[in-house]
């Protein structure tokens, strides 16, 4: 009987261990920092590189985010989806602060990952600047 109990305890511990040497990476927080932009409303805009910027998107794995531009910030929720072969991010804002939102709608922004892995804005569709962010 004592051996049976020890065997059952050993079995429970053995089954609860993860013997996978290469576990799947957990979804983690993401930080995207502005890398550059193209001016909106002009034909053939050139890419302008931005360095040492405080323009950052901080995405949490729980579906919330915070956008910081210098000392100002705004937050909300985001959804990530695959659409038309592109990985897209849709940011929904809790409050409407027009000078902090860079999208065609007053309370949301849409981004996609381009072929270089940059988070790329779509504000240029309504004459805004096209923003590019690198993952940190």
Q: Which two tokens stand for residue 22?
A: 């290469």
Say whether 115 sits in a helix, a strand or coil. Answer: coil
> What is the number of other CB atoms lying within 10 angstroms of the CB of residue 106?
10
Summarised one tens digit per residue, pLDDT across range 85-134 is 999 999 999 887 778 999 999 899 999 999 999 999 999 999 999 999 99
Instruction: Name the residue among 9, 14, 41 with its Cα closest to residue 125.
Output: 41
Confidence at residue 28, expressed as pLDDT on a 0 to 100 scale: 66
**In the chain, where the domains are located:** 30-135
Instruction: Name the residue among 117, 55, 112 with its Cα closest to residue 82.
Output: 112
Average pLDDT, stretch 61-90? 95
Confidence at residue 25, expressed as pLDDT on a 0 to 100 scale: 43
Reported pTM: 0.76
Q: Is 78 left (phi over 0), alpha (psi -120 to 50) or beta?
A: beta
């Amino acid at each position: 009987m004592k051996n049976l109990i020890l065997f059952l305890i050993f079995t429970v511990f053995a089954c609860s261990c993860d013997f996978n040497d290469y576990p799947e990476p957990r979804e983690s927080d993401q930080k995207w920092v502005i890398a550059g932009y193209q001016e909106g409303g002009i034909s053939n805009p050139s890419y302008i590189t931005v360095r040492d910027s405080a323009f950052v998107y901080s995405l949490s794995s729980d579906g919330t985010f915070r956008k910081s531009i210098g000392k100002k910030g705004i937050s909300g929720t985001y959804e990530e989806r695959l659409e038309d072969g592109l990985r897209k991010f849709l940011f929904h804002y809790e409050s409407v602060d027009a000078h902090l939102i860079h999208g065609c709608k007053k309370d949301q922004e849409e981004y996609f990952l381009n072929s270089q892995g940059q988070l790329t804005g779509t504000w240029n569709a309504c004459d805004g600047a096209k923003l590019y962010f690198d993952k940190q």
